[in-house]
Structure 1
Amino acid sequence: MIESVYHWLDNHEDEMIDFVEEYISYRSPTEEEEEVQREFIEPFFRDKMGWDDVEIVDVTDEHDRPNVNGRLEGTDDGDGRNLLFNGHSDIVDVSPEAEEGWSKDPWNSVIEDGKLYGRGSNDMKGPNTAMIWAAKAVMESDVELSGDLLMSIVVGEELDQQEFGSIAATDAHLANVDEIPICVNVEPTNNEIHTKSSATFDFTIEIQGKDIHTSQKNLTQYPQRHGIPQGQDVGVDAAEIMTQILQRFRDLEHEWNMRYQDEIYGGGGKPRSDVQGVGPIGINCTIMEAGDYIAAIPGNAKIEGHVFYPPFVEDEDLWAEMQDAVEGLATTNDWLKENPPTMRWKDVFDWPAFDVSPDHPGCQALGDSYEEVTGDTPIYSGFKAVADNGYIQRDCGVDTISMGPGDISMGAHGPDEYLPLDQFMTAAKTYATMILRWCT
């Protein structure tokens, strides 16, 4: 049966590639997914596949954020277990300015040297296509599953809107089945099996200084003759203070990376090395602003950023250390003693990690499936970014792991995003094998 499914997938590779190319042509940034979901995914689920039930799950007031759920009912006899696949249709948009960095049209995919280029090819319309067609291959084989096969194509992932996407879609599945022992999310992982991920939170720091004409800067930096104003009585360069905070964060980040170790997340893969490298924690200061006028010393400065951290670390502890680093600067800065910076966190992101033991039966079944397809030992490693998995596990109570073709270094969220087609076909065969192993 497995060999016949592989043969079916090989015979339909061209159609699978046509599918992902059409999928990419739908410009579907977060909050604009309705067209691709209703005009492309739902009709394919209803008309081209063998689902027993196809459901639109939309919990928005405007009914313009549809998730598409499919369910193939098992017979409930034998040892088959329920299995959920999950992937998102929303993508990071490409602005006209960002498109200048592309050497190809983001919306009209091309294939060069075994790579399919286009926005969403990697994150994650290509992986979604692999899982959709893996399910279709199993359905076309007429195999009888004893456990339910479930699938969700969701919205909202790229802007942390899981209440409209994966949480709503998974809850809808849970209303129809007794339990879901494992969910396979198909984020790009280089076909490694990611059993845990980072979590993330955002932060903002604002410093109020005192702006003055740039010709007066020397008065703020050097002692003056008695009676001439100097130092903070004249002006305070908020940007210069912010650079000291950035250096303190750099030092703190180094301490964290030395302190926190883990064989999966920070160890570089198990039982052999992954392709991502190590380094489990990052303090990312991504938006920086200072000053209002080119001829005035900056009287204000602001940074916004976010922190990635592993699932075994408490975010409150990290935030407390960041606050200590900033407040510690005030011990030697008279201006900050009287004008402390404003610090906020979790205005945008409070994204949980996922964490599943590599010994979980679902992890082992997926690993066995990968080994059967490739003949290689699977790599169990950690997702260095964040994914829907954390919400599915925390809010819906379903253990969730990731495996998908490509990885985030292949242009995800950036120019010339691409999908390696050899990994694409390997992933499809692995998903199909997993279905046959787990659900029968």
Structure 2
Amino acid sequence: MQFENTIEFAQRLDQEDQLRRYRDQFLFPKVNGKQVIYFTGNSLGLQPKNAKQYVDEVMRDWSELAVEGHFYAEKPWWDYHERLAQPLSKIVGAKPEEITVMNTLTVNLHLLMVSFYRPTGNRYKIICEEKAFPSDQYMLQSQVKFHGYNPKDVIVEIKKREGEHNFRIEDILNTIQEIGDECALVLIGGVNYYTGQVFDMKTITKAGHDIGAFVGWDLAHAAGNIKLDLHDWNVDFAAWCSYKYMNSGPGNASGCFIHERFHNKQDIPRFEGWWGTSKETRFLMKPEFEPMPNADAWQLSNAPILAMAPYLASLQLFEEVGMDALVQKRDLIVSYLEFVLKEIDKEVESSFEIITPSNPKERGTQLSVFLHGEGKKLFEYLMKNGVITDWREPNVIRLAPAPFYCSFEDMYNFGQILKEGILKKTSQLSN
């Protein structure tokens, strides 16, 4: 498609957009009385309008039924979390029985490490990416220390090449091969939070398995953003947060994937609690743990229903739209944003460097942009003028046009505000 940096062209794309009606299903903040251009769905998704209805339903049942809501609410609380498994399985490419929802992301990664980081003898090393999201770094370091090792001796970071912004698949595979039978676990973020690079999870998973290691994925920036096929890729485990692209609300519940080959295994270590025991005997209070025959065996405590309600509301929208349609719009709107940035770059005395891969297969709903010659004042200008974006040191803004609620007209208008901010600064310097 031949793009044009005009309001008319952007509006024409919006008219042709099959998902345009879903924009009205979300609540937007306002700046100076105007609806914002929202680029931070990779940090916190907008609130779906139907979320309040789902939360109000739980509050009503609580007021009218109290404890009996566990069994007699319209959506009984004792199995409320199970309602999320079916729609989530379609989003991450899994079987429903391989999905469970509980806790929050880093908590779940710690719990999954109990099962999948089992250092023995010569096999004790963990491979991860350089400068992983800090919470993952802290989690890995503390797990390694818990097992009595020095993180410097155990954690192997895959490096980017000097002067390059993204990881090369050959360097990842070479590192896995070099560590070989010393590697106990490969754990990488499926989409790099800083650059937006999408990793070749299928190829990396196979490479890890070929050397006898477990392979897991932190899908915080991947779930609801890119097409996933966790079951067929043979991934051992994965976890993700729900409040970014899946719009479940701040700090909300995390999803987990555990491949079915680990279900009903008696020899797998696992921290256990009463919500992971058999539904049929759970309320008999038996002293012996009888694990659920699916990913729910990793459940510990009863579900946080008020947290799960808005998650379930958002998943209803995913059920209606499907990942194929979201990915189709994602690719188009991100490409249009890329075009707009390059057009503005030609018009101003500045230099933008997009550090996210240009190949649509290697990126999702994010462009990370180096603002060479610009500083944080430009970011602040954008924020004051209704563009909600994200600043990362030393000089990067992350732009994530979520396909559910961002429009092509947003992309055009952002370009004009960006140009205005740069020209104003240039004018002030010349005076």
**TM-score for the superposition, normalised by structure 1:** 0.25
Please state which structure has a larger fraction of its residues in strand: 1
**TM-score for the superposition, normalised by structure 2:** 0.25
Larger Rg: 1
